[in-house]
């Protein structure tokens, strides 16, 4: 990281502090609203409890303290990466979440990369041939993708590719009892990844196609592009090196919000495909009424969004030297 | 005004607008006549299970694994989707407009506070946030409707705030101020009408995503168990997807059609408002 980026980083960090505070307060509030507390969880664990032992447990855990003291305990717990204890899984919440995080990230990153490649490609073609039949055809397809509920897209993909054609597996993340390692294992897992990633990416293909098209048409109207045309540069070179590169900046500004939407999509997609990630964990937590896990996922994913937003700020400052310290 | 007339003419000349209006009218008709054609409980068992669409003329879209009439289900389901699309979007627009207008108009620490709140709500992944709300406050149609409004307002707030910041320094606002108009009157009668045009296009996005969100919630089994919706029907059909895929395909196709119609209307409105961008 160059020295120029340091102030940008510090500013982004300071800017996100109030957001973190509000989200933590919110989480504490919701956790208190939820029925049952940690003492109930421990009582359920041990299988038996009397009113006296419950009261003793509450006193030991600080649950009988005033709300403000409980909040301070909660915050100090968070500072020590303590998100509470999972009633359903019998281990600390953080452990449960971190166990599932890699699977979700794999699914989301695959879907995102695929959506970016296809979406930007489609948007590039649309902008290049704006107003043509091709432009209209792609925009109709994009609008269609934009209107499909991801879970329904997932089910229809299963009907076509698993049930009718029998090409791809419809649930799980690897063949049960699969013997093999390295490339073989990766290929086996890839087969399970195709359908979930594809159904998750449809919506984002539509978004990126439209964003890229609009953004490129805007850049085409700028003076430096006119200069490039006047210099007699080949149109393909102008489109790729001058227009597309600069048109991609707005596409990245919404990365943080897209991560949130992507995670929402992952919850339903993972459930459809029995993909063992954060999304299916969230649903399991709801059904088991394990609010510590559920709110832990909400808190951690919000923090991830903040991290992505800071990373985007840094990326912009790096790409565009005009972003200076104000 | 002349410009509005031209925009309306452009809107009506657009085939997407007509397609969108036609589909919306169809869905509206289904919702309105659900009680007339299918007065009983749509969750009641009325025939042999697993009748495929077209197999029995009395049940044009077939029956499900419990012998419930799919046609009755989709008619009643249209009501839920429309309700969510209208009421959730209205809640979202109300909260977003209020927060954005107050912050953008007054500025200062009020604006700072509201902007931080908007950012915080926007940072939390909205579908997950909604699931948390519904899980804590019990899934009824009312809490779901309110919940969708509560998690989706930040987009509106940001948009309205930007418009208010742009407009508050303009002459007509200064004129209203110097005439001694109260703040609420300047906000709602002077600035808001001028801030509305970009909001109209965003409304279609909000309605579409509210319908999609409710269907996803119902699909996961987190919807109101007493209200039959399209998402819930897809969720029920999922267990028998290998043998009776029509049970998931039919209500899903209706969701796609409805959302597509909303998006087409939004596009047509956008093209009518900004004619240069289309070509």
Distance from the first to the final alpha carbon of chain A: 19
Q: Higher pLDDT residue, A213 or A71?
A: A213
The pLDDT tens digits of the residues spanning B206-219 come to 999 999 999 999 99
CA R_g for chain A: 24
* Chain A from 43 to 82: CB within 8 A of any B CB: none
Q: Are the beta carbons of A257 and B264 separated by less than 8 Å? A: no
Reading the block at residue B15, the tokens are 């085939």
Task: Taking residues B156-175, report their average pLDDT.
Answer: 90
pLDDT at A15: 84
Distance of alpha carbon A83 from alpha carbon A96, whole angstroms: 10
Torsion A33-A38-A41-A43 (CA) sign: negative
Find out whether B83 and B141 touch, Cβ atoms under 8 Å: yes
CA distance B241 to A310: 43
Instruction: Pick A216 or B156 by higher pLDDT.
Output: B156
**Which residues of chain B have a CB within 8 Å of the CB of A267?**
127-128, 131, 220
Which of B120, B237, B260 is the best substitution to test chain A (most A C-beta atoms within 10 A)? B120
Q: Please say if the pLDDT value at position A45 is more than 70.
A: no
d(CA B173, CA B171) in angstroms, rounded, equals 5
How many Å apart are CA B199 and CA A249, to the nearest integer? 24
pLDDT at B5 over 80: no
d(CA B135, CA A286): 6
Which string of DSSP letters, residue by residue, matches B227-249? S--HHHHHHHHHTTTTT-THHHH
Q: Does A257 touch chain B (CB under 8 A)?
A: yes
User: Model confidence over A71-88: pLDDT tens digits?
Assistant: 888 888 887 777 777 777
Confidence of residue B1 (pLDDT cuts 50, 70, 90): very low
pLDDT (0 to 100) of residue A325: 47
pLDDT (tens digit, 9 = 90+) per residue, A91-115?
888 888 998 898 899 999 899 889 9
| In chain A, % of residues over pLDDT 90 | 9
pTM for the complete prediction? Answer: 0.88
Mean pLDDT across chain A:
82
B126 touches chain A (CB under 8 A): yes
Q: Which residue has the higher pLDDT, B77 or A170?
A: B77
For residues B242 and A320, give the distance between their C-alpha atoms in angstroms, rounded to a whole number: 52
Tokens, residue A148: 């499909």
The B residues from 220 to 259 touching A (CB cutoff 8 Å) are 220, 222, 231, 234, 238, 241-242, 245, 248-249, 252, 255-256, 259
Three-state DSSP class for A240?
Answer: helix
Q: Tell me the per-residue pLDDT of B188-200, one tens digit each, with 9 for 90 and over.
A: 888 888 888 788 8
- Please report the pLDDT score of residue B86 as a whole number: 92
At A234 the three-state DSSP class reads: coil
Neighboring chain A residues of B124 at a CB cutoff of 8 Å: 23, 26, 260, 298, 301-302, 305
Q: How many CB pairs under 8 A join A and B?
A: 141
Cβ <8 Å between A302 and B125? yes
pLDDT digits (tens, 9 = 90+) for A123-155: 889 988 888 888 888 988 998 899 999 899 988
Is the minimum CB–CB distance between A26 and chain B shorter than 8 Å? yes
Top pLDDT among B256 and A165 is at B256
Ranked by mean pLDDT, the top range of A101-105, A177-181, A310-314 is A101-105
For an interface test with A, which of B16, B124, B151, B217 has the most A Cβ atoms less than 10 Å from its Cβ? B124
Cβ of residue B113 closer than 8 Å to a chain A Cβ = no
User: Which residues of chain B does A306 touch, with a Cβ-Cβ cutoff of 8 Å?
Assistant: 123
Q: What is the structure's pLDDT at B113?
A: 92
Instruction: Locate B133 and state its tokens.
Output: 């709300």
Does pLDDT of A211 surpass 60?
yes
């Amino acid at each position: 990281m160059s020295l120029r980026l340091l102030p940008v980083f510090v500013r982004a960090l300071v800017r996100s502090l109030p957001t973190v505070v509000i989200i933590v307060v919110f989480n504490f509030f919701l956790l208190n609203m939820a029925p049952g507390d940690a003492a109930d969880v421990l009582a359920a664990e041990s299988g038996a409890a009397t009113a006296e032992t419950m009261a003793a447990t509450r006193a030991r855990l600080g649950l009988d303290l005033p709300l403000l003291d409980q909040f301070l305990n909660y915050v100090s717990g968070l500072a020590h990466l303590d998100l509470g204890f999972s009633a359903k899984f019998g281990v600390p919440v953080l452990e449960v979440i971190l166990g599932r995080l890699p699977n979700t990230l794999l699914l989301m990153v695959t879907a995102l990369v695929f959506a970016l490649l296809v979406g930007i490609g489609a948007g590039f073609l649309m902008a290049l041939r704006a107003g043509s039949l091709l432009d209209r055809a792609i925009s109709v397809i994009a609008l269609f993708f934009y209107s499909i509920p991801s879970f329904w897209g997932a089910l229809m993909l299963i009907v076509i590719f698993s049930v009718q054609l029998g090409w791809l597996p419809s649930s799980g993340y690897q063949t049960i009892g699969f013997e093999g390692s390295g490339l073989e294992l990766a290929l086996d897992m890839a087969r399970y990844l195709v359908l979930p990633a594809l159904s998750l990416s449809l919506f984002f293909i539509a978004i990126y196609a439209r964003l890229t098209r609009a953004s490129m048409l805007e850049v085409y109207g700028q003076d430096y592009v006119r200069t490039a045309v006047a210099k007699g540069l080949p149109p393909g070179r102008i489109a790729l090196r001058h227009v597309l590169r600069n048109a991609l900046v707005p596409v990245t500004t919404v990365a943080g919000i897209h991560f949130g939407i992507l995670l929402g999509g992952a919850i339903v997609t993972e459930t459809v495909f029995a993909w063992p990630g954060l999304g299916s964990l969230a649903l399991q937590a709801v059904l088991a009424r394990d609010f510590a896990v559920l709110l832990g996922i909400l808190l951690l994913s919000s923090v991830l969004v903040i991290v992505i937003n800071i990373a985007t700020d840094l990326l912009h400052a790096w790409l565009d030297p005009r972003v200076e310290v104000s | 005004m002349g410009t509005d007339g031209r925009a309306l003419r452009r809107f009506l000349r657009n085939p997407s607008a007509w397609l969108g209006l036609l589909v919306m009218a169809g869905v509206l008709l289904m919702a309105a006549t659900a009680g007339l054609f299918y007065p009983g409980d749509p969750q009641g068992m009325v025939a042999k299970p697993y009748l495929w669409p077209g197999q029995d003329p009395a049940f044009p879209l077939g029956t499900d694994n419990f012998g419930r009439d799919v046609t009755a289900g989709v008619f009643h389901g249209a009501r839920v989707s429309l309700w969510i699309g209208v009421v959730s979007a209205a809640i979202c627009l109300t909260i977003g407009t209020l927060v954005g207008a107050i912050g953008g108009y007054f500025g200062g620490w009020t604006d700072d506070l509201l902007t931080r709140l908007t950012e915080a709500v926007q940072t939390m992944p909205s579908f997950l946030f909604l699931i948390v709300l519904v899980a804590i406050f019990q899934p009824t149609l009312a809490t779901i409707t309110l919940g969708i409004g509560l998690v989706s307002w930040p987009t509106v707030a940001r948009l309205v705030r930007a418009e208010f910041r742009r407009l508050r320094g303009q002459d007509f606002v200064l004129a209203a101020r110097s005439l001694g108009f109260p703040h609420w009157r300047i906000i709602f009668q002077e600035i808001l009408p001028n801030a509305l045009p970009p909001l109209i296009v965003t409304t279609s996005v909000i309605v579409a995503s509210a319908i999609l969100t409710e269907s996803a919630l119902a699909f996961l089994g987190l919807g109101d168990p007493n209200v039959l919706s399209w998402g819930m029907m897809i969720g029920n059909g999922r267990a028998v997807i290998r043998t009776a895929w029509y049970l998931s395909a039919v209500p899903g196709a209706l969701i796609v059609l409805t959302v597509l119609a909303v998006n087409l209307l939004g596009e047509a409105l956008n093209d009518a408002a900004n004619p240069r961008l289309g070509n």
